[in-house]
Each structure stands twice: as C-alpha cells, then as structure tokens.
Amino acid sequence: MTKVAIIGAGSTVFTTELVTDILLTPGLEEGSFALVDIDSKRLDLAHRMTEWLIGQTGSGWTVEASTDRTRVLAGSDYVINTIEVAGLANVRHDFDIPMKYGVDQCIGDTIGPGGIFKALRTVPDWFAILHDVEALAPDAMVMNYTNPMSILTLTGLLASDLPVVGLCHSIQHTAQQLAEYLEVPFEELDFAAAGVNHLAWLTELSRSGEDLYPALFERARKQEIYEKDPVRFEMMFQLGYFVTESSGHSSEYVPYFRKRPELVQKFCRSEYLGETGFYANNWPAWRREGDEMLEKILAGEEVFELERGPEFASYIMEAVTHNRPAKIYGNVLNTGLVDNLPQNGVVEVACMVDRGGIQPTHFGYLPTQVAVLCQQYMAVHELMAVALLEEDREAAFHALAVDPLTAAVCSLEEIRQMFDEMVEAEKDYLPEFLYG
C-alpha cells in the first residue's frame, strides 16, 4: 500500500491539488497520507480537506497529520516537499530592500535578491527534512516543489543520497499556452524543451511533422497576441525560441527588461506579465483567500470539481507503482544530459518514468544564445550550494553579485550594501554563518 508524506502540507491549496490528483490516479485506490506542517491551524485545514476528498472519491485512503514529521515519516514511499520558510515575515524585505537599489522584481522567489534570500532561509530546514527522511524512510522518492526549485534540488542531491527530483508545471503550462496562441489542439502539439527551471526553452514545436515556429512568429506579430506575453514574445523575436515561464518571472532571469523604469514600462504589464512587486503585494492575501475558499468548500458553500490536474507527482506514482511508462519534465543532475550547460548542475529535461524510477533523457546542445543565459543562472545555483553546504557567507554574496538582474542594475559596492542590509533585516530567520 502506497504511503505519501507531504511536508509543508499547510500550503493548503497546493496540497488539495496534489491529494486530488493522487486519489484520482488509476491503480492507487488505497494508501495513506501523512501530512506535516509546523502551522497547526493550516495543518488542520489540510487534514480536514484531505478527509473530505477521500470521502468524495470513495477511496480506501487514510490520512494522519502531525506538526512533528518524525512521528509520521516512517515507511513513506514518496515524500513531497512544499515548505515555505518565514515567507510572511520576509516577503516585504525580499522586495522592498532590493527596490531601494533599483532592483525591480515581479515575483522574486526563484532568483534575484528575493530568491537568493528565500534559499538562505529555506535550505537549512530542507537539509533537516532530508536527514529525517534518510533515517525514517530511506527508500522514499523525494519530490521537491518548493522554490527556488533549482537551488533546493541541487543542494538536496549534494547533501543526501536520496533520489531527489524537482517538479514544476511551467513546461506543460507553457505548451498549453502555445497551443492556444496557435489555435491548435494541445494533444496534437509536439514539443521538446530543456534548460533550467523557469528558464527552459522550447527548441522544437510542431504538429504532424510541421514546424510551428513560423506560425507562432506570425501570430505574435499581431498586437492582441503579443500583449498576452510581451516579454516572452520579445525574447522569442530576438533569441529565436520561446521560454517556459511567465513574462513576469522571465523578465527577472535576464538583464534586458527590468534594469530601467522605461524598460519595465515598455515590456512589462500587470500581474504575472511583469507587474512591479506583484508577489510581495498580493501573496499574503492569496494565502488567506485560499484558506477561506477551502473552508467554504468544506461548508458546502463552494463547488469543487474533482479533476486530475497536470502536476507530475501522481503520474510518477502511477508509472512506478504499476510500471505504466510516463514522460515528465524533471529537474535533475546534469550528467551529460545538456551538453553545453555545466555538468553536475541541475537542469530541466524530459524524463521517462517506470518501475525503475525516473530516467532522465539526453537532450544535446541548447542554442548558444539561450544556453549562455542558463549558464549564468546556474552560476548562481552553484555559488548558493557552496554557501549553504560549506556555510560560506562570501559565496552567498557572490551569488547575488552575479545574479543577472542585480548585476545589470547595481555596482558591486551597492550589491554588498544590499546584501548586508537584507541579512540584517532577516537575521532572525537566517543561518548563523551569515551574521554571526
């Protein structure tokens, strides 16, 4: 019987999605969930929602919950990490302090000053989780959904012998968006993608053997289409390929769009299309509203559609448990998979999954003009891994110094000042090596 532990289950809406997917997976009609979160109130909501979903599906699953993961981890076949460490206390610092220095972030949780400091807060707890999994569930597959995805996946692989894979939905969602832009059925779209999480590139896009990139270029020249994804279409026009994260996120990973206010005005739009401070200004409310929505579902005041979604976790479980081969995109160690990206960094590539587990596939060479953007992104990951594994404060500063957006805006002296100011503002939540 399958046992799934969800660490950070207080991410209530996402936990609901994952649990729903698993309960609707053919061949997984029974099993047990172990829900863990340090926030007992949100954990209780996730627990009640999971019980409700089990009742709605009529499955043979059971659920237990605890604020102490060591009480429920034992025997887990899969451990899903969705933790958020001190986000509410620091989301303003992650945005406001860099903005003082001209570093304008839209989301700021994966790269940039916000992403780097989120990693510094999160990875020590991530290491503690992996240590407990090694002791209590050494045969478990670990699926990481927490951002910064690449940094957590890389440090997890380096700090443990567990099979860790990073999972995201950006590639499959981007492919669905492109099908809409092209007005073709998604199921008829063939594509290939590789790169780094949130900075992967669709290098092939076709339908029945016909290259669809010329049609996409033509469609994107129409203003009403261009306005739906201005940063990504601009990158496609100039670099030749479409990138796999939203225009807002994508604008943060490269030095072209947010280094001057007039560029933000020209290329960025509202919300996920690049709005300044969008995540910092809205995430606390989204978190609260998500909990309120789930309470209404439990009270019968909202309708909930039972539908298996596109997240990869349940498809991996189905493939492994029943040897039903599946193709996913995973964040894995680059062991010769992408030839012109740093080896032993983390890349996002197509992976086949079956009873033997997750098997990454060889991609080859990325076009040089996009590979170099991934290389700079991966340099940040490598420096962060050194910082966190070796408790090296200078390596953490160097990661911020080579961050593409930060470096496009600030001098090294200004970056040092920003780094020190963020450490001071967030020191109650940071490892001691940064301020001791």
| C-alpha dihedral, 154 to 158 to 164 to 167, nearest 10° | 0
The DSSP bridge pattern shows strands 2-7 and 30-36 to be parallel
Catalytic residue among 93, 169, 198, 381: 169
Other residues' Cβ atoms within 10 Å of the Cβ of residue 204: 13
Catalytic annotation on 93? no
Q: Where are the beta strands (DSSP E) in 273-382?
A: 326-333, 346-354, 357-360
Q: Which residues contact 37 (CB under 8 A, 6 or more apart)?
A: 7, 8, 9, 10, 43, 46, 65, 67
Residue 428: strand, helix, or coil = helix
| Phi–psi pair at 224, nearest 5 degrees | -65, -25
Dihedral sign for Cα atoms in the order 299, 300, 301, 304: positive
DSSP states of 103-121: ---SS-SSSHHHHHHHHHH
Q: Which residues contact 244 (CB under 8 A, 6 or more apart)?
A: 170, 171, 174, 193, 195, 198, 199, 200, 201, 202
| Phi–psi pair at 66, nearest 5 degrees | -160, 145
Q: Which of 210, 202, 204, 207 is nearest to 229 (CA)?
A: 202
Q: Where are the beta strands (DSSP E) in 212-314?
A: 242-243
Enzyme catalytic residues: 169
